[in-house]
């Protein structure tokens, strides 16, 4: 009888297949706690500055310290500016609602950052979302206030126009950095693993060994 060879069934496993075990991500609670603390502090500072800007909206004149500081910085840049020019510039900003929009935007953004920080301290992922919302408000505020200040600043002097452009750019960059920082706990694997974790008691009055043996039977 001739040797007809061996038959091989399709999908037959010829040998054991090694499967690498999935290594669980170890939660790192330091990440959300650290980010939460920073967001809380930044939120308080931003909201306070927003309140200060709203106060300026209602002031008919700059106080002597702010007037002297702005006047000195402009004169140091070679601009021929008087104290009356500074006060007129302040009035133009008030009429353009510059202080009001900046104040409201910073207060709302600061509150969102503060609330996001508190939620991250509680290990809640919604804290990162609130922080990103605060970042969006601050970024929009930087764009709006630049448009409002560009006209009065250009009429004042070229140095003033450049200064307020720089303020808007720095505000936008800082808001983007805050947004990236707030999102870090949900972007980092170990940080994300520590959020929204439900604590299950180790013992609930049931013999786990007997349950395992019963399931095997």
- Residue 23 pLDDT: 62
Check if the beta carbon of residue 68 is closer than 8 Å to that of residue 61. no
Q: What is the pTM of this model?
A: 0.75
Question: What CA–CA distance (Å, rounded) separates 103 from 47?
Answer: 8
- C-alpha 158/C-alpha 170 separation (Å) is 18
Q: Is 35 exposed, middle or buried (0-12, 13-18, 19+ CB in 10 A)?
A: buried
Of the candidate ranges 39-48, 135-144, 193-202, the one whose mean pLDDT is the lowest? 193-202
Q: Residue 217: which pLDDT band, with cuts at 50, 70 and 90? A: very low
Q: Which helix (H) or strand (E) holds 101?
A: helix 98-121
| CA dist., res. 158 & res. 98, Å (int) | 19
CA–CA gap between residue 86 and residue 185 (Å, rounded):
45
pLDDT in tens, 126-182: 999 999 999 999 999 999 999 998 888 888 888 888 888 888 888 888 888 888 888
Q: What does the pLDDT read at residue 202?
A: 41
Q: Which residue has the tokens 């133009």?
A: 92
111/61: higher pLDDT: 111
């Amino acid at each position: 009888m001739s040797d007809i060879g061996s038959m091989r069934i399709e999908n037959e496993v010829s040998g054991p297949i090694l499967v690498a075990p999935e290594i669980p991500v170890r939660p790192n609670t330091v990440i959300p706690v650290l980010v939460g603390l920073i967001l809380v502090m930044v939120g308080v500072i931003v909201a306070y500055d927003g309140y200060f800007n709203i106060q300026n909206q209602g002031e008919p004149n700059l106080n002597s310290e702010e007037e002297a500081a702005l006047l000195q910085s402009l004169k140091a840049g070679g601009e021929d500016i008087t104290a009356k020019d500074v006060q007129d510039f302040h009035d133009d900003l008030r009429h353009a609602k510059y202080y009001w929009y900046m104040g409201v935007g910073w207060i709302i953004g600061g509150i969102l950052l503060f609330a996001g920080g508190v939620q991250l301290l509680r290990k809640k992922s919604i804290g990162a979302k609130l922080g990103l919302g605060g970042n969006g408000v601050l970024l929009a505020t930087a764009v709006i206030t630049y448009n409002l200040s560009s006209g009065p600043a250009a009429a004042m002097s070229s140095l003033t126009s450049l200064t307020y452009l720089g303020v808007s750019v720095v505000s936008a960059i800082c808001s983007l950095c805050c947004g990236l920082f707030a999102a870090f706990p949900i972007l980092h694997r170990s940080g994300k693993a520590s959020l929204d974790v439900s604590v299950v008691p180790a013992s609930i009055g049931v013999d786990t060994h007997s349950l395992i043996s019963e399931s095997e039977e």
